[in-house]
Structure 1
Amino acid sequence: MEEELARQWEGLSLIEQERNEVVIPFITMEKAVQQGQLCLLALIIAEKVVNKEAFKNTMTKIWRIERWIQFYEVGFNMFLIEFNKEEDRQCVINGRPWSFDRWLLCLHVFEGNMPINEGQFNKKAFWLQVHNMPFACMTQEVGY
């Protein structure tokens, strides 16, 4: 099968129109970077596909956003969330950690000039509740 794919790949070529460079005007890039400064990249750590509408409706209510908010699905349980106000975005960032449907919701500050697949979700702070812990262990040192 690999040999067949390699043979087919060798037969592919670009037409002249596909060989041309794509030039994106500076003003377009600048606008995208500014828009990205009001965005968060969100990843829901879940074993199943989450309901996009339920996620959008639930989080909008929980976050109590003053202005509009847009959700764009950009991957498996991954969303680009665009805020209208920096204060709303900052409020969501400061309120972490968040969860949705008992799944951990990871947020990454997004920059408009960064590819979506470069969002780093390799560490996440979250709360842990421990029951029946010995009193001697209920110290700040143990909690960190």
Structure 2
Amino acid sequence: MDKGKWVADSVRQAKRPPVKIPAVDTSARIEEHKLTLIGRVTNPSVQKTIALVDFFLQHWRVAGSITGRALGPHLFQFKFETEQDLQAILSGTPYHFKRWILILQRWEPIVSDFFPALIPFWITIHGNSLHYWSDAAIEAIGDELGPVEDFDVDRGRIRVLVNGLKPLEMFLDISLAGEIKQVELEY
């Protein structure tokens, strides 16, 4: 201390309590954002949200207008004029930017650090016995991976909303007539 160097306090400072936000009517803001997609980059060191927004504003073709903005280093937003334009963009998911996938979901009025997180994938199942290729079998495998949006039994694939904040599962153990078998999942 005599030399003017910092010495750690022996008493720790108490953590500041969270700021309490007063309750307000949010219905107008919810209505304002009902045609909004929220996205998350999966590699923020490579995927810069400002550049990403500019890129997609130039490349997405929609009938109405579209606006976008960066919401920080991880999140971004796109607002659409029509439901049809929003659905057209969502139907093309998943998207990638700078060789990394994006997470893109319809905005919901929730408070969570883990939103958005879901990425729709078509997943082809390899290694399932042919006589077990049925709606029930394919859907049961899909249910283990996430919410099932669609399935195609003839091609042995399912469209599942996968949590993009977790590693992809490449193999899955299934039980067929009491016997355990491993299937491979191709995204």
SS at match of 1:89: helix
User: Is the alpha carbon distance of 1:64 and 1:4 closer, same or farther for their aligned partners in structure 2, counting shifts above 3 Å?
Assistant: farther
Identify the structure with the greater strand proportion. 2
Q: How many angstroms does 1:125 deviate by?
A: 1.5
Q: Which 5+ residue runs of structure 1 have no aligned equivalent?
A: 129-138
Distance 2:12 2:99 in 1: 48
**Equivalenced residues, count:** 122
How high is the sequence identity, in percent, across the aligned residues? Answer: 19
Quick check: 117-126 or 86-95, which moved more? 117-126
How far apart are residue 119 of structure 1 and its match? Answer: 1.1
Contact 1:49 1:77 in 2 (8 A): no
Letter in 1 for 2:99: R
Larger Cα-atom Rg:
2
**Residue number in structure 1 paired with 2:127:** none
Which residue of 1 is the match for residue 51 of structure 2? Answer: 54
Query: Displacement of 1:50 after TM fit?
Result: 2.5
Q: Separation in 2 of the partners of 1:122 and 1:104? A: 12
Q: Which runs of 5+ in 2 are unaligned?
A: 1-7, 125-153, 159-187
- From 7, 11, 16, the counterpart of 2:12: 7
- TM-score normalised by structure 2 residue count: 0.51
Say if 1:76 and 1:54 are closer, same or farther in 2 by CA, change over 3 A. closer
Quote the offset at 1:45 in angstroms: 1.3
Amino acid at match of 1:121: A
**Match of 1:58, SS?**
helix
Matches within 5 A, 1:1-144: 4=9, 7-9=12-14, 22-24=22-24, 26=25, 29-46=26-43, 48-111=45-108, 113-115=109-111, 117-121=113-117, 124-125=120-121, 140-141=155-156
Shift in CA distance, 64/122, structure 1 to aligned 2, threshold 3 Å? closer
Q: 1:95 to 1:22 in 2, by over 3 A?
A: same
The change in CA–CA distance for 1:81 and 1:114 in structure 2 (over 3 A counts) is: same
- Tell me the equivalent position of 1:134: none
Q: What CA RMSD, in Å, does the superposition of the two structures yield over aligned residues?
A: 3.4
Going from structure 1 to structure 2, the CA distance change for 1:110 and 1:102 (only over 3 Å counts) comes to same
Note the C-alpha offset of 1:6.
Answer: 6.9
Higher share in helix: 1
- Stretches (4+) displaced over 3 A: 3-7
- In 2, distance between residues paired with 1:84 and 1:5? 58
- Greater RCO (Cα-Cα under 8 Å, separation 6 or more): 1
Secondary structure at 1:7's aligned position in 2?
coil
1:35 offset after TM fit, Å?
1.9
> How far apart are the structure 2 equivalents of 1:5 and 1:83?
55
